[in-house]
Amino acid sequence: MIDFSLNEDLELIVDTIRSFSNERILPKIRVFESERRVDDDVCKEFAMASFDRLELPESLGGSGLGMLARVLVNEEMGAVDPGAALALDRLGPAFYVLDAFGGLKALSQFARPILETEGKRAVLVLESDSTFDVEHGRVSGAVPWIPSSRADLVVILSDTGARVVEHGSSLQPLRGSGLRAAGASSLRLEHAPVIAQWQDARKAAQALAKARLYAASLLLGVLRHSSEFSRNYAMNREAFGRPIAHHQGLAFLIVDMYTAVESVRLLVHDAALKIDRGEDGTQESAAAFVEAVEASRFIGPNGVQILGGHGFMQDYPVEKAMRESRALGLWMGGIDRARDDASKFLE
């Protein structure tokens, strides 16, 4: 049955995370960005509300929620600061790989310790973004960028399987283009011992589908924010004797940005619903990611454009949204790989 409404539980989750993001993150986004970290007390509060274990099964002390809840939460957090969202969600999309391949056992062995120690972070890297060699159960290689300043657990996902590494990694801080509140580093692995590994192409695809949707939903939030912020600005800023939004050239642009955000949202929800129904969702989540990235090319720069010179200045958040959206679109394998998967229906 066609139904676009949210049930009460999900509405409550959305309200809660929205208030949290607006009250605890929004006032400090520029501070978090320049410090490349989120305040400890904000992290603690996030964990207290169990938002750091949203999808972790209840038997492991998590909230056991599904993909729809995840994308709703990510949209809200992405709308405030996607970098902070990554910093706070310390398992991040690495969770999906552990869950897909190792189930409860891997989650309690690898995910729980991350959550139990303050500040620890798990990172997911895609083999396609990096160069790795594996010899005698040890892996070496380099990842040019991860949106993190720590990597207490490195989960490497390939097309056919996954590996987990705990020791033997080193990080070089980077300036980072966007998502700076999460930190930015290059990652090196030198003969890092592989502590778990699995082979299963289908599971790899499932994990990647969820990871992409994770990224797409953060991106959705960023796009919403840029579009809404610039819309409000345009209603208050005047030029030639009227609000700039009342010049049709801008009004139509704003309307089209609004529409682009909605198209991303619908595809993100579509994929999340499929996954929660137990369907594969590879194609749908890849499509949602592609749509989000394409929309970001349109919305990111135009959000800045609507503010004119002010948009270019860091006093306003639209330049940040332009950078964040670009960075998110490069993450989790980027758009080209996603497009390959989104065209799987042609096989």
Partner 1 sequence: MDFEISKELRKEIDETREWGERQVRPAGLEADRNGAPLPVDHLYFRRYLEHGGGRTRWHGAGGKSSSGSSDGVVKSVILGEETSYWDRGMTIANPGVGLPEGIVLASSTEEQKQRFLGPFLEPDRPRWASFALTEPSGGSDTANFKTRARRDGKHWVLSGAKCFIGNASRADWILVQANADPDKGRAGQRAFFVEQGTPGLGGFKIEKKMGLKAYESTSFTLEECRIPENNLLGEGDRASEKPEQSDKNVKGYKSTMGTLNASRPGVAASAIGIARAALDESISFARANDLMKQIRVRDRLELFQRKLRAAWLMVLKSAWLADEGKPNIVEASMGKVYAAEIAQDIATLAMELLGVVGARGDHLIEKLYRDVKALNIVEGTGQIQRVIMGRQLVGLPR
**Interface positions with partner 1 (CB under 8 A):** 1-7, 10, 68, 231, 234-235, 243, 245-246, 248, 251-252, 254-256, 258-259, 262-264, 266-267, 269-270, 273, 287, 290-291, 339, 342-343, 345-346
Least distance between partner 1 and beta carbon 187 (Å): 30
- Note whether 326 and 178 are within 8 A (CB): yes
Residue nearer to partner 1 on the CB measure, 39 or 256: 256
**Pairing of the two strands 185-199 and 138-146:** antiparallel
Residue nearer to partner 1 on the CB measure, 45 or 228: 228
Least distance between partner 1 and beta carbon 158 (Å): 22
Residues 6 or more apart in contact with residue 340 via CB below 8 angstroms: 286
Least distance between partner 1 and beta carbon 1 (Å): 5
SS (H, E, C) 177-221: CCCHHHCCEEEEEEEEEEEEEEECHHHHHHHHHHHHHHHHHHHHH
The residues facing 187 across adjacent strands are 143, 171
Residue nearer to partner 1 on the CB measure, 48 or 346: 346
Structure tokens at 277: 């129904």
Q: What is the DSSP letter of 29?
A: H
Least distance between partner 1 and beta carbon 224 (Å): 13
DSSP, collapsed to helix, strand or coil, labels residue 38 as coil
DSSP, collapsed to helix, strand or coil, labels residue 346 as helix
The residues facing 133 across adjacent strands are 140
Tell me phi and psi for residue 194, to 5 degrees.
Answer: -80, 120
Residue nearer to partner 1 on the CB measure, 56 or 342: 342
Least distance between partner 1 and beta carbon 250 (Å): 8
Least distance between partner 1 and beta carbon 215 (Å): 16
DSSP, collapsed to helix, strand or coil, labels residue 119 as coil
Least distance between partner 1 and beta carbon 320 (Å): 23
In order, the DSSP letters of 128-179 are: GGSEEEEETTEEEEEEEEES-S--SEEEEE-SSEEEEE-SSEEEEE---SS-
Residues 6 or more apart in contact with residue 65 via CB below 8 angstroms: 13, 54, 55
Least distance between partner 1 and beta carbon 235 (Å): 5
Residue nearer to partner 1 on the CB measure, 43 or 261: 261
Residue nearer to partner 1 on the CB measure, 202 or 344: 344
Residue nearer to partner 1 on the CB measure, 12 or 235: 235
Residue nearer to partner 1 on the CB measure, 34 or 252: 252
- Note whether 245 and 283 are within 8 A (CB): no
